[in-house]
Amino acid sequence: MTLRITTDKDTGVAVVTLDRPDRLNAIDLPTASQLTAVWSDFRHDDSVRAIVLTGAGERAFSTGLDRDAEVPQPDSPYMLDDPLAAVGPKAAGLWKPVIAAVNGMACGGAFYLLGEADFVIADETATFFDPHTTYGMVSAYESVYLAQRTPFGEVARLALMGTAERVSAQRAYEVGLVSEVTPPGGSVEAAVRCATVIASYPPTAVEGTVRALWSAQEATRSAALSQAPHLIALGNLPTADQAKLFGARGGGFRTR
């Protein structure tokens, strides 16, 4: 298993940990399937009333899709297979609250998860960036998820600057992506503390509130996401050309 799940039956809080620290918690295809399954399982588990999502180790929350994952694609631009489309809790129809606890890097496909968390807590080591454009890929799903909770100009800068910039935890807090910044190593504890409070409330009221919050932006989000496969099909470089850019990667970055 590439996910580690612990559940406290007394508090009703589950902690889901992406457990591939040697790969910076990148999501391979088995991990993607496990995430989809665990969100579905939580829908039927009344003992779990709030969830914390985090990554193992100190270096990264997640760096998105594992570059070694092989995802065969149909020839048609109308049938793009996105291996991360169902990794988030909302995609599985889970309306129990999910709090993301971020340490280290969160980039690329990690925004599928952060975008479907109800709020994000980060420690001071957290940085956020999106490498897609640097390597000849369209940032479509990631940008849509970010645009739902962060000012347009901030999303545009993060997406277009690629690997040249990383957004610090403090800046992410200032623009609303992060709701709290903790000392190093403190994000999970803070997230569990919040989850424990929320899990102590009547669950139907909590779940109804989560559903209401997401209804407020659901129409625009769904419409934007529907365009993503076509934009990716049109704008991505061929895989071999992407690989050349990855192979030549290097250089520094600034953190703001």
Question: For position 106, what pLDDT does the model report?
Answer: 97
Does position 172 have pLDDT exceeding 80, yes or no?
A: yes
**Residue 83 in this model has a pLDDT that exceeds 80:** no
CB 74 within 8 A of CB 81: yes
Q: In whole angstroms, what is the distance from residue 100 CA to residue 112 CA?
A: 12
96 band by pLDDT with thresholds 50, 70 and 90: very high
Distance CA 256, CA 254 (A): 6
| Helix residue spans in the chain (DSSP H) | 29-43, 110-115, 141-147, 152-161, 169-174, 187-199, 203-215, 218-235, 239-247
Looking at residue 63, its amino acid is T
What's the whole-model pTM score? 0.92
pLDDT tier at 236, thresholds 50, 70, 90: confident
Between CA 247 and CA 45 the distance in angstroms is 44
Distances (CA, A) of 197 to 100, 185, 191, 202, 256: 15, 21, 10, 11, 33
Confidence of residue 74 (pLDDT cuts 50, 70, 90): low
Handedness of CA 217, 92, 61, 227 (dihedral sign): negative
